[in-house]
Amino acid sequence: MRKFSRFFVPLLFAGLFTAYAPVTQAEMQQQGYGNTTYIPVDRSQCRSYGSKVGNKALNAFANLTTGVLEIPKNIINTTNNSNIFYGVVGGLFKGLINTGGRIGVGIADLVTIPLPTKPIAQPEYIWEDFDIDTTYGPVFRLDKCQEESPAVQAPIPEPVLAPAVIAPKPEPIDNSKQYNQETNQKLDTIFKKEMMK
């Protein structure tokens, strides 16, 4: 037990200080301490480190416990998109694969809780958008705030267009008499040949 506590306690404190440092630094920037300047950020897209990690822990727990619900979800969705026989068989296999995927995502999120990453499985929770099939996105992408101000581009001048030149409408050519004469001559020769027989 003593060896365990010698290893576990320093590791726990290192993790807490690692999690606490970015939060403290963000609070100091907001209050104007230090040589950094505060840049207003849209808070609807930017959450604190603690809320990101808490949401990731909740997501990991939800994926581990509700991953089995992928089986009935996929059976229902596959049945609605095809027939009952393919829905049960194909949906069962598809559900088993997505169950393994959800549980794997839950384990990966649980192991990497201190890293605030974006969710891998979409929809994030199985009960969100039940009719949509589960997809898996990029793995271990950090959930960053967009603190940079958007780049301002110089306005692009509109090109000056030359006035359109309209060509005169050509006169229609009437070849109907020529075609009628040629057609009549051909029909006459065919008729004469048939009459001679």
- Over pLDDT 70: what percentage of the chain? 68
> Which helix H or strand E contains 87, and what residues bound it?
helix 84-111
Cα 90 to Cα 55, 80, 87, distances in angstroms: 33, 12, 5
Q: pLDDT tens across 113-143, in order? A: 888 888 898 888 888 888 888 888 888 888 7
Q: What is the pLDDT of residue 127?
A: 86
Q: What is the pTM of this model?
A: 0.50
Contact 99, 67 (CB under 8 A): yes
Quick one: 144 exposed, middle or buried, by C-beta within 10 A (0-12, 13-18, 19+)?
exposed
Q: pLDDT tens across 81-117, in order? A: 988 998 899 999 999 999 999 999 999 999 998 888 8
